[in-house]
């Protein structure tokens, strides 16, 4: 998919009307050399200012081989940053195990109303916010004596030793979400970068400082590639195309991919 470069300075996220399909091909897998071959055959690279995608190895290597400027998608990049900080975190493991146990034991009980949301196994670090929003909400209700049922209080007892971790993590995830919203709608430039980082500036926990360091590195990389312009740093629109395709496929499982796409 291609998008006019000047469209990225219009302070709103991309829409389907902004897209121009360039290549539509299918394969059981795509190696970087194969992608390079397709791009060189069908696309005039002299007209390409930069490319946006996740940081999958095949795509990263593709852009390197093509000598194309690669912009890492903000959503995937933030997810990798979160994963790098929390993947081996003992408290996260303890928290998610407690949520899973509570959901399994109490979903059909009289206190089912306090059961936490389902945890996503695939792309789990993209979907942590609902879990910590729930935890922060439960802590708030406990602090304000909103629970009159002793069984509910007992079921939520595990939150007390995790209080600081849950609240801090929710604040981090919530602010990262707000930062993404700014960058997806306004694109990346000096002004949007300052606006986004201001949201995170007063976070001082150890985990927040680790994330802040990686955010600084990501923004520095984008600044060097933007060269004073406003650039798009989100591939949400093509992810949305995949989502729409999957919805169509559900009712047409025996129809060929190219037919459905066209």
The full 3-state SS of the chain, as one line of letters, equals CECCHHHHHCCCCCCHHHCECCCCCCCCCCCHHHHHHHHHHHCCHHHCCCEEECCCHHHHHHHHHCCCCEEECHHHHHHHHHHHHHCCCHHHHHHHHHHHHHHHHHCCCCCHHHCCCCCCCCCHHHCCHHHHHHHHHHHHHHHCCCCCCHHHHHHCHHHHHHHHHHHHHHHHHHHHHHHHHHHHHHCECHHHHHHHHHHHCCCCCHHHHHHHHHHHHHHHHHHHHHCCCCECCCCHHHHHHHHHHHHHHHCCCCCCHHHHHC
Task: From first to last of the 262 residues of the chain, give the pLDDT tens digit.
Answer: 999 988 887 778 888 899 999 988 888 899 999 999 999 999 999 999 999 999 999 999 999 999 999 999 999 999 999 999 999 999 999 999 999 999 999 999 999 999 999 987 767 898 999 999 999 999 999 999 999 899 999 999 999 999 999 999 999 999 999 999 999 999 999 999 999 999 999 999 999 999 999 999 999 999 999 999 999 999 999 889 888 888 888 777 676 666 666 6
Terminal C-alpha separation, the chain: 14
pLDDT score at 169: 98
Q: What is the pLDDT of residue 158?
A: 97
Structure tokens at 187: 């694109």
At 68 the pLDDT is 95
pLDDT at position 245, please?
Answer: 81
Structure tokens belonging to residue 75 = 């959503």
Cα separation, 261 vs 99, in Å, equals 40
* Long-range contacts of 38-41, Cβ-Cβ distance < 8 Å, separation of 24 or more: 39/66, 40/66
Position 261 scores a pLDDT of: 66
Between CA 212 and CA 36 the distance in angstroms is 34
């Amino acid at each position: 998919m291609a998008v006019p470069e000047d469209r990225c300075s219009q302070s709103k996220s991309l829409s389907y009307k902004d897209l121009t399909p360039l290549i539509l091909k299918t394969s059981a897998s795509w190696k970087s050399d194969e992608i390079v071959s397709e791009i060189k055959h069908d696309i005039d690279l002299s007209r390409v200012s930069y490319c946006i995608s996740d940081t999958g190895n095949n795509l990263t290597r593709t852009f390197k081989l093509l000598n194309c400027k690669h912009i890492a998608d903000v959503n995937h990049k933030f997810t990798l940053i979160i994963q790098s900080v929390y993947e081996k975190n003992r408290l996260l493991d303890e928290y998610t195990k407690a949520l899973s146990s509570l959901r399994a034991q109490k979903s059909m009980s009289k206190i089912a109303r306090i059961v936490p949301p389902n945890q996503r196994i695939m792309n789990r670090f993209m979907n942590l916010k609902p879990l910590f929003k729930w935890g922060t909400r439960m802590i708030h209700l406990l602090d304000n004596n909103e629970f009159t049922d002793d069984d509910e209080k007992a079921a939520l007892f595990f939150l007390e030793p995790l209080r600081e971790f849950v609240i801090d993590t929710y604040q981090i995830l919530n602010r990262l979400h707000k930062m993404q919203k700014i960058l997806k709608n306004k694109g990346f430039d000096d002004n949007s970068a300052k606006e986004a980082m201001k949201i995170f500036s007063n976070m001082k926990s150890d985990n927040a400082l680790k994330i802040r360091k990686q955010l600084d590195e990501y923004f520095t990389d984008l600044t060097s590639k933007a060269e004073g312009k406003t650039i798009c740093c989100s591939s949400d629109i093509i992810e949305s195309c995949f989502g729409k395709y999957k919805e169509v496929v559900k009712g047409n499982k025996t129809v060929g991919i190219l037919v459905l796409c066209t």
